[in-house]
Chain A
Amino acid sequence: MHDLEVGEHLYRFPGGLKLRHHKQIACRDPLLRPEMPEALYLPLQQHQGPAGEMLVAPGDRVLKGQPLSRARNDREVPVHAPTSGTISAIKAWPVSWPPDSEAECLVLQPDGKDAWFETTALDDWRHADPADLIGHIRAAGLAGLGGAMFPTAAKLRGEWQQVHTLILNGSECEPYISCDEMLMRERPGAIIEGGLILARALGADEVIIAIEDQMGAVDESLSRALAEHDPDDICRIVEVTTIYPEGGEKQLIQVLTGAEVPHDGLPQDLGLACLNVGTAAAARDAVIEGKPLIERIVTVSGPGIKHPRNVVALLGTPVSDLLAAAGGLDDDIERLVLGGPMSGLPLASDLIPVAKGSNCILVLRREDTRRVQPVMPCINCGECVRVCPASLLPQELYKYLKAEDYDETDSLHLFDCIECGCCAHVCPSHIPLVDWYRHGKGVLRERGIEDARAQKARQRFEAREKRIAEEKERRRLRREQREQKLKAGGDAKSEVQAAIERSRSKSAGPDQDGDS
């Protein structure tokens, strides 16, 4: 057995903030399914990792749930048709990442029939082979629904020791986002069944569902479902204190176990796996119903939307359709954000489609985004250090980034920053710290790529030098041999004669040789 107790005691992670929740406004109404969009826009890469192999071409008719691409390994994730219709084109369309960019998207024109492709459920999953379960989950196109979009199959198997505990992350800590809360209220059974399936795939003997202590209705609905779906009593609900960002993977693990995930390691190194509750529900749909991941719950909220609510959106639905479903926009809208107010990503366009990791669309008015004061110099107050959940030195990182001393930021562990935004939130000088960190990470990443290129170029250059030297040596040897032969034999004349004969026979009968 393992010696790491998960969820027995609650620990604390360093830093963090208590923020006003702003979640209830989007939870008052039940889930809504927006009308079928005129067209769905599906990028083949909706996850961390390379895109899968495309299986369709423009003009193809596809059915709901039909795979549009295929995964060749665990890091690739297939995309499926969210409804039946025709692939009308493959064209460049705005996407959320990188900001202000376009990517090749499959355009699916729905035919309104919503006719299903054949679904392949896995009978008797309670006794299925873990590899079959993972294969099923991979083919269903699962990627982390919490927002990071990490391929689920790659999380379920890999080079690590036995995973003993599965943590289902329902502690959605960022203000405004409530899609997981809605899911836990509406489909608690699916989450628990999904958790049991994922636990079987991992070989884990315990499932912890972590929720926030401020989610009242959730605890109740999950407990009821637990009694119904968990006969072996494997699952347990743990309420964690609501402190942003306790829903971060590393922070949640620290809260539940008191242990830290090593900075160059994975939760699996501690015998843990951490997945979002939405991913668990999707795993259940994939295995028990045979349905691939084609829709997700998206929170549409913020001060600038008329009727904040949670919607069930087909992947590929343009954001504008979701905004319409939530009552439309107020006047004086300044910005759309994908994700929450602390760590979200600004959207350049409302044409951007919903992807597997799109948890929330936040609508902000001009007065919400207006700066209260200009950016001032850092005064070394240390507030950022106090709130950093990763125990970094934000003000030092900022200083070195500003001085473009990227090596130093690397040794201060810039890459351990989870971009939660706590430091920027408390900064009395209103320095956009997270933007600086994102910038620094980008520069360091590019540098890594350049170094790898240089190493490769160097190897190729050296290999070429070696080859040229060898060729030269071979030529020299051949020449020497010939010279020796001539010297030793003294029959230079006969050599010459033979050469003349050869050329004569060639010119006399070119057809015999077949050589021109």
Chain B
Amino acid sequence: MSATLAAMMVAVGVMLALLLGIGLVLLVSARKWRPDEDSVVEQINQILPQTQCGQCDYPGCRPYAEAIANGEADINQCPPGGEAGVKALADLLGRAPKPLDASHGETKPPLVAVIDEDRCIGCKLCIQACPVDAIVGAPKMMHTVIADECTGCELCLPPCPVDCIDLVPRRRPFIWSVDTVEVESREALEPAKTEREHA
């Protein structure tokens, strides 16, 4: 009887020791290899579209990424990123995707700012507002937008005193549409099909 009891005690002891041992290892490793706060921010920032428009209520994409990582901001505050962006963030952070918060604005096709150079008075206010330094110009000289650098954030619009900046759709590369050709010319080979043989 006492032999079985002893055996049981040994078993319980071994199990307890294992439990404590594994728990200790997990505790130490969790402390030591804690997910790096910076790398999470970095990964979120990679997903954000880098428009730097501030529609999320933060002054740029990286600050918004930091706010998401801290749990201050939700993942659906970025209109330029659109639903696809929300979904990517949800996947990354293991959260449920949700619709875009309409109070922050709506998703628009890619835009680019154009300055009407005849109306520009050279006040430099838009240059100061541009988050990516995409406007060049000097005091009392005409300004212009470097179209390749412009993110279409619209931040240059409010400060302009003469309302000479317009946002126009950005030129996009041609994408073949599945409906480009309704009927394929391959059908011209139809008679040959009967004598087709696989190589």
Contacts and interface: CB of A to CB of B under 8 A. Distances in A.
Of A97, A424, A453, the most chain B CB neighbours within 10 A belong to A453
B79 interface: no
Contact of B180 (A435, A445, A463): A435
A502 interface: no
Interface in A430-467: 432, 434-436, 438-439, 441-443, 445-446, 449-450, 453-458, 460-465
A223 to B, nearest CB: 27
Contact of B50 (A303, A424, A445, A454): A454
A368 B175 contact: no
B175 A464 contact: no
Nearest to B84: A404
Given A20-B192, A435-B176, A461 B62 contact: yes
Contacts of A85: none
A459 to B, nearest CB: 9
Determine the main DSSP class of B at the interface with A: loop
A403 interface: no
A360 B133 CA distance: 49
Nearest to B180: A99
B134 to A, nearest CB: 7
A456 B180 contact: no
B122 interface: no
A168 B30 CA distance: 62
A439 B178 contact: yes
Contacts of A303: 188
Contact of B196 (A19, A302, A341, A369): A19
Contact of A368 (B134, B172, B174, B187): B187
A98 interface: yes
B32 interface: no
B72 interface: no
A387 interface: yes
A464 B149 CA distance: 13
A457 B187 contact: no
- Give the size category of A's interface with B: 35 or more
A450 B45 CA distance: 15
A465 B52 CA distance: 12
B183 interface: yes
- Give the size category of B's interface with A: 35 or more
Interface in B136-154: 149, 151
B184 A438 contact: no
B185 A364 contact: yes
Contacts of A342: 186, 189
B39 interface: no
Given A432-B181, A461-B52, A461-B132, A442 B199 contact: no
Contacts of B134: 460
B68 to A, nearest CB: 16
B187 A101 contact: no
Contacts of B149: 456-457, 460
Contacts, number: 133
B185 A337 contact: yes
A67 interface: no
A175 interface: yes
Contacts of B174: 97-99, 101, 442
Interface string B160-192: 000000000000111111101101111111111
B49 interface: yes
A364 B51 CA distance: 48
A460 B177 CA distance: 34
A465 B110 CA distance: 24
Interface string A417-434: 000010011100000101
Contacts of B50: 453-455, 457-458, 461
A425 B189 contact: yes
Nearest to A444: B175
Contact of A461 (B60, B172, B176, B188): B60
B37 interface: no
Contacts of B178: 432, 435-436, 439
A34 interface: no
Interface string A329-347: 0000011010001101010
A149 B160 CA distance: 47
A175 B189 contact: yes
B175 A443 contact: yes
A280 B149 CA distance: 42
A16 interface: yes
A446 B175 CA distance: 8
Nearest to B128: A468
Given A368-B185, A442-B174, A449-B173, 12 more contacts: A19-B192, A20-B189, A341-B186, A346-B180, A362-B185, A362-B188, A432-B184, A434-B184, A435-B178, A442-B175, A450-B49, A458-B62
Q: Which 6 A-B pairs have the closest CB atoms?
A: A442-B175, A98-B174, A438-B176, A20-B192, A454-B50, A460-B132
8 contacts: A341-B186, A370-B187, A421-B186, A424-B184, A446-B175, A458-B50, A461-B60, A464-B131
